[in-house]
Amino acid sequence: MTNPLRDTWDTPFELPPFNLIKDEHFAPAVEAALEECRAAIAAICDGSDPTFANTIEALSMADTPLEKALAPFFAMAGADSNDVREGLMRDFSPMLSAYSSEITANTELFARIEAIWAARDTLDLNDEQQRVLMLVRRNFVRSGAELEGYAADRLADVKQRLSVLGTRFTQNLLADEREWFMPLDDLTGLPDFVIQAATAAGEDKKARGPVVTLSRSLIVPFLQFSPRRDLRQKAYEAWTSRGAMGGETDNRDIAAETLSLRAERANLLGYDTFADYKLETEMAKTPDAVRALLMQVWEPAKASALADATVLQAMMHNDDEQGPLEPWDWRYYSEKRRATEHDLNEAELKPYLQLDKMIDAAFACSNRLFGLEFTPIDAPMYHEDCRAWEVTRDGKHMAVFIGDYFARSSKRSGAWCSAMRSQQKLAGDIRPQVINVCNFAKPSKGAPALLSYDDARTLFHEFGHALHQMLSDVTYELISGTSVARDFVELPSQLYEHWMEVPEVLEEFAVHAETGEPMPRDLLDRMLGAATYDMGFSTVEYVASALVDLAFHETEDAPADPMQKQAEVLEDIGMPHAIQMRHATPHFAHVFAGDGYSCGYYSYMWSEVMDADAFQAFEENGGPFDPTMAKKLEEFILSAGGSDDAATLYTKFRGSMPDATALLKGRGLAA
């Protein structure tokens, strides 16, 4: 039987032939690819004199067969999972971790890298090659290449176990989100767009009518509009109990073991804490720097939220609802308050925020800024909801962009950007294949897909990540696109959100789904005027999560009971009663699904300090579409990838590093 994952791909732009790929192809393809990769590593260690080309460049190409087999698998496992793919994920995670440890524990290979490193000043390497050499060596050292004996063996076991736990955490969360739904017998107060989304969700769940699921794009508007406090409470408690519902899918023990193993990993590598280990390579560098930023924002955010809570509780009591304002009450009364104070509500806005028009807006902004053009292409995808475009500039192929926008039970929650293929020049002019995955509510058949204001920002956010990939212009994949410091990677995405709020963009693309009329200017002004409405709430729920994440990792001994530690942190900072963490520990996938954002959830705010300052640079120099600033943004940020230190790149773009002043002003929290 031929295996399409092992064949040459005669498809548009060499996209994976998803129409030919079956689940049974993955395991043999990965096993065969691993054999090829091991042979490539062995060939590097052939006894020849080590050079940058025969060692560093050869190493960067060694995993090509594995990347080809895994790229479509990871795309499908995250966005269209099933029992077989979940089983494969559980099999692949320890296998791939063991392979990674095998490479970094290869003493011959590391000796070659060390020899090149020692001779680096005599090798006439260009700046990019020097950067890649430093990163390769640093990755090996931080992966335990200098360890021997028990320490080396134990580190390999720890990393392998962590990969297993991360996969289990993700799959448990997906199972809870997939299984729970609440039939909606009472539709009182719900606007048409919520009823349509609930009806579509009921069809997906094969229920007898509309349902509320744990998808953020459905449960949030339900909490905003349902006057039934008992139903809001039931839905909210299910939503915030993901990963903590007991039984086989409970994530609390997984979180505890993960934190313990991370602390041990850091200690084996000579660090006092996992936070010291993790932050060493980030812009923040130290836990103290992270805490300083978060607390600078926490106090004004909490003060704003507490003032809002007083108003909302009074509104609730006026409705003859007794007791304190609860977390399942906040969104309902906040939506009512917004309608009163800003003459604005989600139901009025949604018809003007069509998914297709917001996609067009994101494309149009990138055209005005960077000259990119998008042409739909017909190519097999992993799901019928996906759509694809060729991205060109001046007639030159730049990338393939894939959008997968709708929530479904086979897709994990959240929104993300990934690259099935990254830009590089070492193996030829390789252009990226980029996917944006979102979880917007799918409309009933024949109805237009409508977004909330936050949904539209999410679309622009993920497209900002995509631009970082599509405009990358480096030689080595190791520093391509979003391969940058974790607290720098959110800069392009959060910066791009600002263009969604540019009035001239909204005037062109925010048109009514039924009439085609542009959003009235007074509504547009009211929408933008309310952009910082309820910012105390959203900032508090985010910063609380980031502070808990930091606290989990900044002590030498990991907390034995993460839930108790979470409670202690929230009590210490004075968490308002009616607000909960945006991501409680059992469903904190950013932190526990893998190492990516572990001790790194603060990164969004660290990057926001820069994105607020960066957009201010556009406003100071000719406006949102100023060509000079756009050119600098591409040259020093988007095309540069990880070719230099993040602070150096930002300083080249802006002239200096910012402080949090613009951030607090942008969030409406400045004194």
Residue found by looking up tokens 């978060």 in the block: 294
Nearest alpha-carbon partner for 494 in 578, 635, 613, 383? 613
3-state SS, residue 191? coil
Mean pLDDT, consecutive 10-residue stretches, the chain (671 aa), reads 91 96 97 98 96 98 97 96 96 96 96 98 97 98 96 96 97 94 95 93 92 94 96 98 96 98 98 98 96 95 97 96 96 96 89 97 98 97 97 98 95 95 97 97 90 96 98 98 96 98 96 96 92 95 98 96 98 98 97 94 96 95 97 98 97 93 88 64
Tell me whether residue 562 is exposed, middle or buried, using C-beta atoms within 10 angstroms of its C-beta: 0 to 12, 13 to 18, 19 or more.
buried
80 to each of 5, 388, 631, how far by Cα in Å? Answer: 18, 17, 37
Amino acid letter for position 94: P
First to last CA, the chain: 68
pLDDT of residue 398: 98
pLDDT of residue 435: 98
Residues present in the chain in total: 671
Residue found by looking up tokens 């791909």 in the block: 9
Structure letter (DSSP) for residue 450:
B
CB 592 within 8 A of CB 314: no
CB 612 within 8 A of CB 658: yes
Quote the CA–CA distance of 490 and 650 in Å, as a whole number. 13
Amino acid letter for position 588: F
pLDDT of residue 346: 86
Token pair recorded at residue 90 = 């559980």
Quote the CA–CA distance of 247 and 568 in Å, as a whole number. 25
Residues 6+ positions from 135 with CB-CB distance below 8 Å: 478, 479, 642
Token pair recorded at residue 33 = 């690819």
> Beta 373-377 vs 211-213: how paired, if at all?
unpaired
Quote the CA–CA distance of 467 and 401 in Å, as a whole number. 10
pLDDT of residue 661: 86
pLDDT of residue 25: 97
pLDDT of residue 408: 92
What's the per-residue H, E or C state across 500-545? Answer: HCCHHHHHHHCECCCCCCECCHHHHHHHHHCCCCCHHHHHHHHHHH
Quote the CA–CA distance of 540 and 303 in Å, as a whole number. 10
Structure letter (DSSP) for residue 240:
H
pLDDT of residue 671: 64
Quote the CA–CA distance of 321 and 315 in Å, as a whole number. 9
- Residue 620: CA count within 13 A, CB half-sphere: 7
3-state SS, residue 557? coil
CB 625 within 8 A of CB 314: no
Kindly report whether the global pTM for this prediction surpasses the value 0.75: yes
Nearest alpha-carbon partner for 235 in 172, 182, 291? 182
- Active-site positions? 462
pLDDT of residue 659: 86
∠ CA 377-380-385 to the nearest 5 degrees? 85
φ/ψ of residue 440, rounded to 5: -80, 150
Domains along the sequence of the chain with CATH: 12-172 (1.10.1370.40), 180-249 (no CATH), 252-341+533-666 (1.10.1370.10), 351-529 (1.10.1370.40)
Q: Is the dihedral of CA 506, 510, 515, 520 positive or negative?
A: negative
